Structure 1
Amino acid sequence: MNSPLNHSTLLKVDILSDVVCPWCVIGYKRLQKAIQELQLEDKISIEWHPFELNPQMSPEGENLRSHLAAKYGTTLEGSIAARKHLTELGAELGFRFNYFDEMRMYNTRKAHLLIHKAKEKGLQEAMSQALFEAFFTHQQDISDSDQLVDIAASVGFDADEARQLLGDDTEHQIIQTLEQQWLSYGFQGVPAFIFNHGVTLTGAQEIDTFKSVLERVIAEELV
């Protein structure tokens, strides 16, 4: 299918996510697939925004299964089934979920700071994907500054600058303020996808749903 957009048109998609949210991975990968199937790769402008699912998480984190049991009442059987299902969905979309028994939930404030700052360098998508993979695939502690500096450097972000940012309390406050703004808009969870500052999809929607919304928003822009 040929894209109905002219060469200079961009469709803006704002993504609200957290790097420890598996459904954010699934949702983004489905959006990405929809964009590819509609041949819109060079027409879409994506911006990632911070949303911490657990802003009060302690520095050492918590066992993931214990955390989910306490927060959502997830049973061991439910956890096993969910991990299997997510692993299968990820594989279908080219993403490897590598769950393990002692996996931990971490504070993500520092990770969001790197994603936010990566926008200035055109590295937001690369940074987001690297952090998803670091947590879900490579079993890394994405709250640890040393590991975060290495992740940032792997996508072309200056390591010294990354380390300085991670230790800057003012920069941390900026992320917290941005998160409060999204809460004030009524967002209570992730993922959320906002198309051209209007149509919003929440959750990891199916590829066809993303395609339908993309086509509708594009048609409205061309009226």
Structure 2
Amino acid sequence: MEAEKAPSAARSRRRAVALAVCAVLTGSAVLVSCGGDGDDDGSEGFSPTPTAADTSRFSGEPPSALSSAAESRKAEARASVSAAESSAAAAASSFQASVSADTERARAEAERRLEQVKGRGNATGDVSLTGLPLADTNNVRAFTVNITNSGDETASYAVRVDFGDADGKVVETRFVGAQDLAPGEKAHPLAISAKPPEPRLTAKVAQAERY
């Protein structure tokens, strides 16, 4: 009987020690679970329990970032409009470059002549406009200026074409001319806009002078 009591006493001491350690660890930041008798076979003892996530490491976008994002989108929109303007001007320049030097000289002369003309001029009835499909002009807005010499003598023409927006405001002006047309002869110079194809612009003959 004495031999049986000795192991029992030893187990009791080990159990007491285990409970004491468990009490100390429970009071700390480490979470553990306490076993039973804690025999030497290692089948029971302490087992760690997962700790909670450290939420101090979480981060989020502050509200001010929304404002920054909106400003960024506005800047991108402005840059897009600017790029469209530049692209349209470049396309118009390229398209106009295909026009002959004689046509350019006629344009310059037409502008010079019309600087001296008051009102709409004496030949608006001899001039009309025909729009060209954007697909045929590399997405450049262009109009054929149809000029017919309705007089009995050879004459030259100076024409001013105004491009207006939806409100009727003139946003662009182009000059074209035709030199030495015989009676009944026709000419078809182009009035080419350097503005983007959208928003859509309308064109009208603002002045036409026969000289």
On whether the aligned pair clears a TM of 0.5, the verdict is no
| More strand, by proportion | 2
Q: TM-score, normalised by structure 1?
A: 0.21
Report which structure shows greater RCO (CA 8 Å, sep ≥6).
1
| More helix, by proportion | 1
Q: TM-score, normalised by structure 2?
A: 0.22
Q: Which has the larger radius of gyration?
A: 2
